[in-house]
Structure 1
Amino acid sequence: MPQSGATSTPTGDRTGQRSAPATTIGQAAGAPTVTRVTAELAHRTRAADIFPTKWVRRSEFGFRVTAYWPADHSFFGPVDDLHQDPMIIAETLRQTTMALAHAEFGAPLDTHFVMGDLGISTAPSELLLADAAEPVTVDVVCSGVRRRGRGLSSMRTVMEFHRAGRLVARGTGGMGCTSPAAYRRLRAGQLAGPGTAISPSPPVPHELVGRRRAEDVVLSRSDRPGTWLLRVDTGHPVLFARPNDHVPGMVLFEAARQAATAATGGRVFLPSDLASSFSRYTELDRPCLLETEVLDKGGAGAEAGSPDRGDHGDGDEVTVRVFGLQNDEPVFTVSLTSAPHRRTPGPPPTPAPPPVRSLT
């Protein structure tokens, strides 16, 4: 995603590299330095959409981040009357990774991030609306840190999320960094802006995909059962907070979750596991078809919409695989599992990274 240039003088990070601007808080002698997450670091434009708020460095590649998950967020709001949206964990991981890449590992503010995979494992029973006021502690370990000159080439982050002393989720993601010049070369002939995006088609009913507002629906009906068309509204204040020349990863995650909800009958779908991989950019100026495959807890699969796939009760574990296609070529895959009674998150799923061309 194109980013604005630096707004203040870069500061030196503790690895000897030059980092993007960040706000640090004065501490008593010997106390760790606290760094604030700014809108530039998180690639957000509204303060309400920034979930990690500050961090301290604990080791060369380890950090402790403080985050907040508001119960009344305009997009990542309640899934039902009891639970917060697990997708806010994926967005917190994404923002945290970018903020650390800028401020701690020297990625300039105009860096284009390319995320090849992202996985989270959650305990839905710990994502209660009643706990929303509690801060979230995120322990982050960065690995595979590769440099390009004085900046960053790529790295992986692994995170654990705790709230009120309880483990809520685990997550991981791998990303690469591309300079503006390299990005222009990479995207030569494909740089479609928001003005060239295809017009949003009518949304499916918001109840079918687990949303409370029609404007947050990112699916339209297709002419084949069990499939949907991606609905892209570049004017959405959260999903398209900044101008973009391709469909952001957040939109693809949400489209996959909405497709999983629709494929399992429109019931509340609380993802306890999410694993994603990206094979190319999803373009704004052409249709994107989403196909779904529903698997029961035993692993036997049937296409969504098939009379043979069975009926999954609210307490059953069910996995839905969502495949995104443009021009009949794969662009992304997201696998989501809903396990409502899980009380402890497992290890985050880590799909083998394919050749990538997508995510922020």
Structure 2
Amino acid sequence: MSAPTEDQTGHRGSPANTAGKPVTRTRTRTRVTTELAHRPRTEDVFPLEWVRLSDVRFRVTARWPADHTFFGAVDERHQDPMIVGETLRQTSMALAHAEFGVPADTHFVMRDLEISADPDRLLLAEAAEPVTVDVVCSEVRRRGRGLNGMRTTMEFHRAGRLVARGTGSTGCTTPAAYRRLRGRQLTARGARMPLPAPISPELVGRDRSEDVVLAPADRPGTWLLRAHTGHPVLFPRPNDHVPGMVLFEAARQAATAASGRRPFLPSDLSSSFSRYAELDRPCWIDTEVLDKDDDEVSVRVTGRQDDEPVFAATLTCPPAVPVRSLP
């Protein structure tokens, strides 16, 4: 990709207009490829293209198809709010590669992810409308000439309305550092726990058993993480650990089962990740319903493995007929 001009970065202001005619500014549009989004299938890539507004600001055009096999409809009216988090994740990696010089073989580590959405604006009836994503990159940390990590903060608009906000912090690990960190797991990459039978899809707001990431456990409010490494969306490529978005989905499914609210359309979801979840040992998903009434329910979800915390998340589901809007 060629470097943007000074006008594209917005650093130098308007160019001279010696002819006395209006100046037309054009910004180069960069396409999001499957390689940039770390998705081997085109149908799983949600950001389409972007323009660079400054060194740290970008405007992205995305699509949220209603018929996506995993991030599509959750009922007859709403799209899945989890598509907001997945779009944020893909956009962050694409910009890290193309705009911040991160090599293709870099390993990304999700440290935290937060989204707030208005479920009553995530409507199937508007799925054909393009999504405009305004992105700000901050907390940019360099390691020499490379990128150590950064935070991306985004606002999502569709059909002229603010639909959601999100922010996430991502770390970048070189292949050599990753081998030092994950040597044992890379050597034993084929080691997997036997895939347990899922709990009923209806309990977690899913239609298909293959999309369920929870298996039964021996006490109420706790489930066993079910890591189906052959799932084309949850595990798009071979991995030596459970991807962060699988844990993100496990949190939503656990909140659905614990609260009994179906569909569980999170208006607010915050999560933090403290260590890798390994594929060869059981990972337990615990829940605590914090607040539950006719209007709103909040659930705390934690993951643990080898008696160590893996992640923590808090999810809030608004009333069945949402009345709140983003400020």
Using the size of structure 1 for normalisation, the TM-score is: 0.83
Write out per-residue CA displacement over residues 235-274 of structure 1, whole angstroms, 9 at most, x where no aligned residue: 0011011110000011101111000000012521000001
Q: Is 2:312 the counterpart of 1:329?
A: no
- Indicate if the aligned counterparts of 1:13 and 1:103 stay in contact, CA closer than 8 A: no
Cα separation, 2, equivalents of 1:114 and 1:15: 31
Aligned CA distance change for structure 1 residues 267 and 207 (closer, same or farther; 3 Å): same
Aligned CA distance change for structure 1 residues 339 and 198 (closer, same or farther; 3 Å): same
Aligned residue among 62, 71, 78 for 2:57: 62
Q: Is 2:132 the counterpart of 1:133?
A: no
Cα separation, 2, equivalents of 1:12 and 1:330: 44
Aligned residue type for 1:321 = R
Aligned residue among 273, 280, 304 for 1:278: 273
Corresponding residue SS for 1:170: strand
Question: Which residue is 2:164 aligned to?
Answer: 169
Question: Which residue is 2:325 aligned to?
Answer: 344
- Indicate if the aligned counterparts of 1:66 and 1:137 stay in contact, CA closer than 8 A: yes
Aligned residue type for 1:110 = D
Aligned CA distance change for structure 1 residues 326 and 192 (closer, same or farther; 3 Å): farther
Corresponding residue SS for 2:95: helix
Question: Which residue is 1:90 aligned to?
Answer: 85
Question: Which residue is 2:147 aligned to?
Answer: 152
Runs of 4+ in 1 over 6 A off after TM superposition: none
Aligned CA distance change for structure 1 residues 82 and 190 (closer, same or farther; 3 Å): same
Aligned residue type for 1:246 = H
- 1:1-360 equivalences under 5 Å are 11=1, 13-14=3-4, 30-191=25-186, 195-265=190-260, 267-296=262-291, 312-313=293-294, 316-340=295-319, 341-345=322-326
Structure 2 spans left out of the alignment, 5+ residues: 7-22
Write out per-residue CA displacement over residues 41-78 of structure 1, whole angstroms, 9 at most, x where no aligned residue: 00000000000000001112100000000001011121
Cα separation, 1, equivalents of 2:300 and 2:254: 9
Cα separation, 1, equivalents of 2:267 and 2:296: 9
> In percent, how many aligned pairs have the same letter?
70
Cα separation, 1, equivalents of 2:80 and 2:238: 25
**Structure 1 residue 207 displacement after superposition:** 0.4
- Indicate if the aligned counterparts of 1:199 and 1:232 stay in contact, CA closer than 8 A: no
**Structure 1 residue 220 displacement after superposition:** 0.4
- Indicate if the aligned counterparts of 1:208 and 1:266 stay in contact, CA closer than 8 A: no
Corresponding residue SS for 2:183: coil
**Structure 1 residue 195 displacement after superposition:** 2.7
Structure 1 spans left out of the alignment, 5+ residues: 1-10, 17-27, 298-311, 347-360
Aligned CA distance change for structure 1 residues 268 and 201 (closer, same or farther; 3 Å): same
Aligned CA distance change for structure 1 residues 15 and 288 (closer, same or farther; 3 Å): farther
**Structure 1 residue 193 displacement after superposition:** 5.7
Q: Which has the higher helix share?
A: 2
Cα separation, 2, equivalents of 1:121 and 1:236: 27
Higher relative contact order structure (alpha carbons within 8 Å, sequence separation ≥ 6): 1
Question: Which residue is 1:20 aligned to?
Answer: none
Whichever of the two has the greater Rg, that structure is 2
- Most deviating of 270-279 and 335-344: 335-344
- Indicate if the aligned counterparts of 1:296 and 1:318 stay in contact, CA closer than 8 A: yes
- Indicate if the aligned counterparts of 2:59 and 2:135 stay in contact, CA closer than 8 A: yes
Aligned residue type for 1:345 = L
Aligned CA distance change for structure 1 residues 322 and 15 (closer, same or farther; 3 Å): farther
- Indicate if the aligned counterparts of 1:217 and 1:231 stay in contact, CA closer than 8 A: yes
Corresponding residue SS for 1:271: coil
Write out per-residue CA displacement over residues 272-329 of structure 1, whole angstroms, 9 at most, x where no aligned residue: 00100011000000000000000116xxxxxxxxxxxxxx44xx21111100000111
Aligned length: 309
- Report the aligned-residue RMSD: 1.8
